[in-house]
């Protein structure tokens, strides 16, 4: 989901956690959000491709833009 779509879910309290974790496809970090009904929703671009960031700080900033004040950083491999 795009940043704007995720902001809408957050505003409706549908997202309960933000997680930054290492990407398995690229060298970098991705942002996923735990949905209140279970499962994770990744941050993607408008075409649906998973967004990958060079560092944890930049990835965390995207989670803050969604609305979260705290982000869980998953262990690297």
Chunked into runs of 10 residues, the chain (77 residues) has average pLDDT values of 97 98 92 97 95 96 98 82
Q: 53 to each of 27, 37, 63, 74, how far by Cα in Å?
A: 8, 27, 12, 14
| pLDDT at residue 38, rounded to an integer | 96
pLDDT computed for residue 1 by the predictor: 96
Virtual CA dihedral for 68, 75, 34, 71, nearest 10 degrees?
-10
Q: pTM of the prediction?
A: 0.91
DSSP letter for 68, please: -
């Amino acid at each position: 989901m795009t940043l704007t779509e995720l902001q809408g879910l957050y505003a409706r309290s549908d997202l309960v956690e933000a997680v930054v974790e290492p990407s398995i496809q690229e060298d970098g970090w991705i942002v996923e959000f735990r949905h209140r009904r279970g499962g994770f929703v990744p941050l993607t671009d408008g075409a649906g491709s998973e967004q990958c960031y060079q560092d944890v700080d930049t990835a965390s900033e995207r989670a803050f833009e969604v609305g979260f004040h705290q982000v869980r950083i998953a262990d690297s491999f």
